[in-house]
Amino acid sequence: MTISLKPIDRDNFRECIGLDVYPEQKEFVGSNVVSIAESKVYPHRVPLAMYNDDELVGFVMHGRDPEKLRHWIVRLMIDRAFQGRGFGRAAALALIDHNETSGGLR
pLDDT tens, residue order, the chain (106 aa): 889 999 999 999 999 999 999 999 999 998 999 999 999 999 889 999 999 999 999 999 998 777 877 788 889 999 999 999 999 999 888 888 877 666 554 4
Nearest CA among 3, 7, 4, 1 for reference residue 61: 7
Q: What structural domains does the chain harbor? A: 3-101 (3.40.630.30)
**Residue 17 CB: number of other CB atoms within 10 A?**
16
| CA-angle at 13, arms to 10 and 14, nearest 5° | 115
CB hemisphere CA count around 72 (13 angstroms): 8
- On whether the pTM is more than 0.85, the answer is yes
Closest Cα to residue 4, out of 78, 44, 56, 62? 56
